[in-house]
Amino acid sequence: MSETIKKFLYLNRKAPYGTIYAWESLEVVLIGAAFDQDVSLAFVDDGVYQLIKDQDTKGIGMKNFSPTYTALGDYEVKKVFVEKESLEERGLTLDDLQHLVWEDEDDDWAEKDSIELVSREEMTALMEDAEVVFSF
Amino acid sequence: MRFAIQVNEGPYQHQASDSAYFFTKTALEKGHEVFRVFFYHDGVNNGSRLTTPPQDDRNIVERWAELGEQHDLDLVVCVAAAQRRGVVDEGEMQRNGKDATNIHPRFRISGLGQLVEAAIQSDRLVVFGD
């Protein structure tokens, strides 16, 4: 769809419910996938809550959109960076998050982990390196 | 330099739209190019022509529209966000069986691809909001 390939970083900073930023950010990621850019997702601050597994929204009457994150691999979104410090500050570990994978066609469609834990310093470098930061 | 502008908050409630307006205006006056202003989340409410602020206050919608007129700016309201919040043009009215429109004629409703395209085509994407 486009000849230019840029490094896109979708920066998710907010909790999944309470405001609509997280959900509408995910909508940009899914639409943006059609543009074949070099896409990374980053989750920092309360944004790490977006990836929590076993979300149940019945009590708040909102749609649980968290299953959509597991479809990201099908949209060729393979790089999901989660900030270690943000998890620790909230008493969370990688085990509290959904298991996100993508299939590697060059490796007999082996499932590979999408989530990579990075330090705050590494996250800074990722932002520095990105050509476009979509901040949500 | 070529800029793409993203406005994520509604008018009056939040300063984001004001800041985005002044940034865009100044950039244009300094000779830069603004490829597109994209209104997302509650930012779509910046495109409602029915907005009627008190007379002694700024009219944020008209201000965007005038800047758009002066510089032939592409002011785009996200369709998915607009549907959720009842910002409607003729096409959306018919598609969704509504009985009215409220989009300002200087704005247009289009898809999220317009945001992604703007980010690709511009040197900088500048996002205004929380």
ipTM: 0.90
**What global pTM score does this model have?**
0.93
Amino acid at A41: L
DSSP B68-109: HHHHT--EEEEHHHHHHHT---HHHHHHTT-S---B-TTEEE
* Catalytic status, residue B78: yes
Cβ-based contacts under 8 A for chains A and B: 48
> How much is the pLDDT for A54?
96
> How much is the pLDDT for B21?
98
- Nearest residue, CB atoms, B111 vs list A6, A20, A31: A31
Query: Buried b vs exposed e over A107-125: b needs ≥16 C-beta within 10 Å?
Result: eeeeeeebbeebeeeebee
Q: Are B100 and B84 in contact (CB under 8 A)?
A: no
pLDDT tens readout for residues A10-68: 999 999 999 999 999 999 999 999 999 999 999 999 999 999 999 999 999 999 999 99
Decide if A2 and B120 are in contact by the 8 Å CB cutoff: yes
pLDDT tens readout for residues B47-99: 999 999 999 999 999 999 999 999 999 999 999 999 999 999 999 999 999 99
Cα B65 to Cα B114: distance, rounded to the nearest angstrom: 19
The residues facing B110 across adjacent strands are: B78
> How much is the pLDDT for A1?
53
Q: Does A132 touch chain B (CB under 8 A)?
A: yes
Which residue segment(s) compose the domain that A51 sits in?
Answer: 7-135
Residue A2 has pLDDT above 70, yes or no: no
pLDDT over 90, % of chain A: 97
Cα A83 to Cα A99: distance, rounded to the nearest angstrom: 16
pLDDT classification of A4: cutoffs 50, 70, 90: confident
Q: Where are the alpha helices (DSSP H) in chain A?
A: 21-32, 84-89, 120-129
Q: Are B79 and A28 in contact (CB under 8 A)?
A: no
| Assigned domain for A2 exists | no
Using a CB-CB cut-off of 8 Å, the residues of chain B touching A24 are 40-41, 80-81
CATH code where residue A13 lies: 3.40.1260.10
Per-residue pLDDT averaged across B107-126, rounded?
97
Q: Does A62 touch chain B (CB under 8 A)?
A: no
| Assigned domain for A50 exists | yes
> How much is the pLDDT for A83?
98
Per-residue pLDDT averaged across A88-109, rounded?
96
Domains and CATH numbers, chain B: 2-128 (3.40.1260.10)
